[in-house]
Structure 1
Amino acid sequence: MNFHLPTYKEPDFNQEPFLSAPDAQTVKVTIEGVAPEHYHGLSIYPEYFKIQGQWILARESRMDGVPVLKSDGTIQVVEFRNLKVGDQVIVGRSEDGRQGIYVYARGFSSHEASADLFAFRSGRSRETAYSKDYNDLYDLLNYEKDHGYIVWVLGPAVVFDYDSRLALSALIANGYVHAILAGNAMATHDLEAALFGTALGQNTYNQQSPPNAHYHHLDLINKAREAGSLDQLIEKESIHDGVVYSAIKNKVPLVLAGSIRDDGPLPPVIANVYQAQDEMRKHTRKATTLICLATQLHTIAAGNMTPAYTQKNGEIRPVYIYCVDIAEFAVNKLKDRGSLSVTTLVTNVQDFVVHLRNNLVSS
């Protein structure tokens, strides 16, 4: 294995403007759930705050949160809805250190000589060469399997194909998946495939649509609701393959966030969006690698709450984010929302998952 974590290079705070910068200013919350004016909005990058003359790194971050100074001198990242009266919110919109706030985006930069200013195909598109990205990802996942926390964000397309569904199940069984974030559709069609051999009524292998197969996903949801849980459904219907089955068998957390589009939904789907966000956040805050497959809204949601860094064993390390979709527009949406540390691959997610299985799991 050729993978090595890059070394994090801390800013040199023994120089200007850091030395003469004032302490970061705070203002108390007076209305629950409402930040004071001029609050500082966090990014996905490491952010330092000058507290009593010392530059303190927020232990974690997420977009659309605010930094709250705790009584022990630590910085806590808090969503607006979770702000309490009396919380000391750090205020200031300057990010270059002058107001005691410094956003640091180059901690893992190699500082190698820059390439030519002009170059063909510098963006990421269907014409991009992805061979190195695949090889890098194989090495990364072999490392993360034992040393990290790999979170997968799944759209239903990944279980519409016979081979990709089995491939992802094999990746789960072999330790390459530590948590799954998805919606009602992914789990429904995976279980539909396990019970009926179809996904949204179409056979996952030969693409045939049997008579009345358009009822299958509703029949599956109905059976699951009658069973009361996915565990009991799997036992009652003798289901023995698929993504949901493998996740439950291998005790991989499965967070299913609800949507206004949902049928049913399945018993474990979380209807309250803020509760779903909290459950997703439990895993994105532990994530060291995030892999998002063919689900634009879930990808943006998970990407925005996943920092570009995390701390493990006292050391700061990068969080790797991959966004995979057959549509260029979809993979670029996450970058447009500010998650600049993402690696995008424009390809069929079904082929992507099979490639991973073939190169990571010994037959």
Structure 2
Amino acid sequence: MSFRLPQFNPPNFDGEPFTGAPNATLVEVLQDGVAPDHFHGMSIYPEYFKVNGQWVLASQSRMDGVPVLMEDGTIQILEFRNLKKGHKVVVGRTEDASEGIYVYAEGFASKDSNEDIFAFRSGRSRETAYSKDYNHLYDVLRHEKDQGYVVWVLGPATVFDYDSRIALAALIEKGYVHAILAGNAMATHDLEAGILGTALGQNTYTQESQPNGHYNHLDVINMARKAGSLEKLIKTLNLTEGVVYAALKKNIPLVLAGSIRDDGPLPTVWANVYEAQDEMRKQTKKATTLICLATQLHTIASGNMTPAYTERNGQLRPIYIYAVDVAEFALNKLRDRGSLEVTTIVANVQDFLVNVNNNLI
């Protein structure tokens, strides 16, 4: 059976409590960057706001953002820092339509009434069998390759191993990657592997530490800074493989967000955290699938910026979120932060990448 996206089942606004609900209350922003008291904070689910008697969907969202009624009648979701004096913000903290605000979490829910309320092993742990999840992911990626926008969130462990690094570069070449969100470390160690055959001084295939290998990533950062850009470094050294090489060759957005611990960093790393967040959000706004590998902080950040749905071609569809880590704690942390619509897979990311690449043409 060919893959089909779940159909969105919208609320029926023709009856109560919707017809008798008041319009949402709007309060103007009086100071840039400061929301009115009792502002409404967004969830990951579709939310509707009653404006002039009509229920308006915020077609793009992010958790904890603030809903603003724009002059064109749309509801835009902004961070506090992007609020401007005169913006009309929705206030109210109920979700049941009683204040003209309705949070709708059931739009993509299955209508199958045969599922048991109680079942063993309904959680996800190292004892979970993930075969079904892998097969679903393959189907999703085949669909998304040409009809979606797949954003990969990468920790440095994805490029520590020779086979996983080659597998990820192959997935980029095949068209299953539309944007990459990462930090200085992932790009640094990918380039280190391409130039010196090591990651953090260890051979990426044998895992043997090399003499003075702890200098390798620093030398690569210095080379890149001397070259002035990643493109110039690749051209100067005639690099022809790797994740960074493949991404730049395919003109795939490579958003590298800086952190306090960064060495160097590489050119193109966003040093200002809010500028980095803005660049990341440009990609999560377009995302239809998000795949997060072995990076707890980037995963939580990206997950919090990505709602459970998006609008494509005038229709709502789910956003698929996958998070893969060898540690259950890191995956549970994402779910605890409110990103509930996520498939978690407890696995070594090196094995995960090789499996995915081997099963996709």
TM-score range with shorter-chain normalisation?
Answer: over 0.9
Shift of 1:116: 2.7
Q: What is the match of residue 210 of structure 2?
A: 210
- CA-to-partner distance for each residue in 1:306-343, whole Å, 9 max, x for gaps? 11111111111110000000000111111111111100
Q: What is the match of residue 183 of structure 2?
A: 183
TM-score by length of 1: 0.98
1:263 matched to 2:256? The reply is no
Q: Distance in 1 between matches of 2:117 and 2:175?
A: 42
AA partner of residue 321 (structure 1): I
Q: What is the match of residue 201 of structure 2?
A: 201
Q: What is the match of residue 34 of structure 2?
A: 34
Shift of 1:2: 2.4
How do residues 95-114 of structure 1 correspond to structure 2 at under 5 angstroms? Answer: 95-114=95-114
Q: What is the match of residue 167 of structure 1?
A: 167
AA partner of residue 149 (structure 1): Y
- CA-to-partner distance for each residue in 1:153-195, whole Å, 9 max, x for gaps? 0000000000000000000001000000000000000000000
Q: What is the match of residue 15 of structure 2?
A: 15
Shift of 1:31: 0.9
Q: What is the match of residue 230 of structure 1?
A: 230
Q: Determine helix, strand or coil for the equivalent of 1:290.
A: strand
Q: Determine helix, strand or coil for the equivalent of 2:122.
A: coil
Q: What is the match of residue 354 of structure 2?
A: 354
Q: Structure 2: give runs of 5+ residues left out of the alignment.
A: none
Q: Distance in 2 between matches of 1:158 and 1:356?
A: 13
How do residues 1-363 of structure 1 correspond to structure 2 at under 5 angstroms? Answer: 2-361=2-361
- CA-to-partner distance for each residue in 1:124-176, whole Å, 9 max, x for gaps? 00111100100010011000000000000000000000000000000000100
Shift of 1:119: 1.9
Q: Distance in 1 between matches of 2:46 and 2:118?
A: 30
- CA-to-partner distance for each residue in 1:204-242, whole Å, 9 max, x for gaps? 000111211110000000000000000000011111111
AA partner of residue 296 (structure 1): Q
Shift of 1:44: 1.2
% identical aligned pairs: 71
User: How many residues end up aligned between the 2 structures?
Assistant: 361
Q: Structure 1: give runs of 5+ residues left out of the alignment.
A: none
TM-score by length of 2: 0.99
Q: Distance in 1 between matches of 2:117 and 2:276?
A: 44
Shift of 1:114: 4.9
Q: CA RMSD in A?
A: 0.8
262-271 vs 111-120, greater mean Cα deviation: 111-120
Q: Distance in 1 between matches of 2:313 and 2:74?
A: 18
Q: Distance in 2 between matches of 1:5 and 1:118?
A: 27
Q: Determine helix, strand or coil for the equivalent of 1:252.
A: coil
Q: Determine helix, strand or coil for the equivalent of 1:323.
A: strand
AA partner of residue 93 (structure 2): R
Q: Distance in 1 between matches of 2:188 and 2:132?
A: 34
- Please list every run of at least 4 consecutive aligned residues from structure 1 whose deviation after the TM superposition is greater than 4 angstroms: none
Shift of 1:118: 2.7
AA partner of residue 196 (structure 1): L
Q: Distance in 2 between matches of 1:214 and 1:107?
A: 51
Q: Determine helix, strand or coil for the equivalent of 2:286.
A: coil
Q: Determine helix, strand or coil for the equivalent of 1:152.
A: strand
283-292 vs 326-335, greater mean Cα deviation: 326-335
Q: Distance in 2 between matches of 1:313 and 1:206?
A: 48
AA partner of residue 286 (structure 2): K
AA partner of residue 37 (structure 2): E
